[in-house]
Amino acid sequence: MGEILLHSVMTKRSQGQSTFGRMNFKRRLFILTNESVKYNSGKDLDNTGTVKGEIKLSKIQIVEEVSGGSLSGQNGFPFQIVYNETNNPTTAVRLYVIAGLRKDKDEWIAKLRSLIANNSGIEATFHPGIFEKAGSGLRWSCCGALALESKGCSNTYFHQDEKRKYFYVERRKAAVPKPKTFTVVAVWDLTAQQPATDLNLTRGEKLEVLDAVTDQHWWRARNTQGQIGMIPESYVRKDGVEVREWFHNIESRPQVEQMLKEHGKDCTYLVRPSARGKVKYSISIYYMGQVKHYHIQQADGNFWVNEKNKFHSVDELLDYHSMNCAGMVCRLRHPLLRNSAPAPILGNQFGNWLIEPREVNYGAEIGYGQFGVVFKGQWRNYDVAIKTMKEGCMNEEDFYDEAKIMMRFNHPNLLRFHGIVNHQGQVAILTEFMKYGDLFKYLQKHPSLPAQTAVVIDMCRQIASAMKYLEDSRFIHRDLAARNCLVGDQRVIKVQFVCRYVCLFNCQFMC
């Protein structure tokens, strides 16, 4: 274990504390060594009990007192330890500890600060309050900020002294690069639901994205009037080919072929991302019952399908081929335009995963699983699946952890997570609705599909793409099966999962 520097029995607030019920506090034996802080179920060093958690000192970013909020009503002297095992700011964990005596609190804070003084990730600011429910939403009790990841409202101990401030800020800048800005174009109109924090969007307007890292679904951006606020990433596209109405963000050939065949009009075309690594875009054309695909080659600022005819942009290329076949099966006469319906807003507003019950309409029961009944419903005029939880099947901490994990992900082949709703005392998860249900039952209803090699390969490609994304995010899925893959329009496959099936590579496995 290493040399024990401090040990005390103190009260710990559950890290995954939910806002649905009353707070959960547990007495733990805290043990500090030169390497970590451990908290055990025992009462003293002779009977330490089992290890309930461990925090590596090298990962700690903040050690500060707590004032205000729901902890102020507890008997004792609270302080907080904030640590992060990744470089993603959304994964920071806050551990709230209540010491029985003021001298214990002061001793622990002083010792921890001395041990972490040279950590590279020390934060400049912090929140002295608690992020908890207030009125109809969640906010910091100290400053009223609505986002969990919002910048702290007070300077940390290490940034109150100018000499230390210079030293630590410079180290932090070297360790955490400044997010890159880029330009996007709004593809749908949107009226801000929270005018105090969000921006209105007008179709076609350009915005500069300032932060697309902190939250993958909600970006911080500046419009042409200089106003700064949050925008949903699903309502914008990067400036260029992707904002054109004839561009469809679908790599899968079978999906594109099905779309064009359903349209059924000769010389109808669309542009899509190419699944081929060296080629960025492809043109797909419907003619005489068949769909042909052509790669758009690109080099030295030129674009072409036929090397004899090169152009400075994709728009010029399409204009030319609308009048000339030039190696294609037919002219490009009828662009297949994107669906005019607005894209669903993924997640809730910037880290706020709790959805108001009045925004959700329950519909028919469509299934049931190990954890509870699944309903079809509507949220903000979008079809959703409402997955209720049986009483006692999962504690609230695990449920909250699941929400935090699912909010991080943004991939076309992972089931979209919208948030959590507490309806008449029953807690439920809201996800996007997949109209054809799970893949296992879908294949049973369509027994001829397994014989269609191209379709099967495309389904496997979609599932593999989702698994690669999880792996790149340092997560694994531990129950990948056809029953956990859902089917939507154009045979889009999306993998669903719950917290007990997903874990960090560097964490202990939990069953």
Q: Are 184 and 207 in contact (CB under 8 A)?
A: yes
With H, G, I as helix, E, B as strand and everything else as coil, classify residue 406: helix
Regarding whether 214 and 258 lie in a shared domain, the answer is no
Instruction: Characterize 297-309 residue by residue with b for buried, 16 or more Cβ atoms within 10 angstroms of its Cβ, and e for exposed.
Output: beeeeebbbbeee
Same domain for 168 and 312, yes or no, is no
* Residues 278 and 159 both lie in one domain: no
The pLDDT value given to residue 330: 94
Q: How far apart are CA 499 and CA 501, in angstroms?
A: 5
CA pair distance 271, 283, nearest whole angstrom: 5
* Counted domains in the chain: 3
- 13 with 138, same domain: the answer is yes
Q: How far apart are CA 194 and CA 230, in angstroms?
A: 9
Does any domain span residue 311?
A: yes
Same domain, yes or no, for 147 and 61?
Answer: yes
Number of other CB atoms surrounding residue 379 within 10 Å: 22
Q: Could you report the average pLDDT of every consecutive run of 10 residues in the chain (511 residues)?
A: 85 59 75 92 87 90 85 77 76 86 90 88 87 74 80 81 42 48 88 80 90 74 90 84 86 87 92 81 94 92 90 92 91 86 58 76 82 84 83 60 69 85 77 91 92 89 90 81 90 77 39 31
Residues 82 and 140 in one domain: yes
Quote the domain boundaries for residue 271.
253-335
Task: Based on the fold, state whether residues 74 and 147 are members of the same structural domain.
Answer: yes
User: CATH no. for residue 307?
Assistant: 3.30.505.10
Distance CA 52, CA 28 (A): 9
Q: Which residues are catalytic?
A: 479
Q: 131 and 83 in one domain?
A: yes
On whether both 83 and 104 belong to a single domain, the answer is: yes
Phi, psi of 284 (to 5 degrees): -115, 130
Residue 367 lies in a domain: no
Going by the DSSP 8-state scheme, the letter that residue 68 receives in this structure is: S
Question: What phi and psi values does residue 491 have, to the nearest 5 degrees?
Answer: 55, 40
- Do 58 and 141 sit in the same domain of this protein? yes
- Can you give the CATH number for the domain in which 202 is found? 2.30.30.40
Last-in-domain residue among 242, 274, 290: 242
Residues 163 and 199 placed together within one structural domain of the fold: no
Residue at 90 is within a domain: yes
Instruction: Give the pairing of strands 268-273 and 334-335.
Output: parallel
Based on the fold, state whether residues 130 and 45 are members of the same structural domain: yes
Let me know if residue 433 belongs to a domain: no
The CATH number given to whatever domain includes residue 130 is 2.30.29.30
Query: pLDDT at position 510, please?
Result: 33
Whether 429 maps to a domain, the answer reads no
Domain closes at, from 117, 140, 175: 175
Residues forming a β-bridge with 290: 287
Are 313 and 303 in contact, with CB atoms under 8 Å apart?
A: yes
The predicted pLDDT at position 397 comes to: 58
Q: Strand, coil or helix: what is 377?
A: strand
- Among 190, 218, 242, the domain-final residue is 242
User: Is the residue at 212 inside a domain?
Assistant: yes
Please identify which residue in the block is written with the tokens 């999906």.
Answer: 255
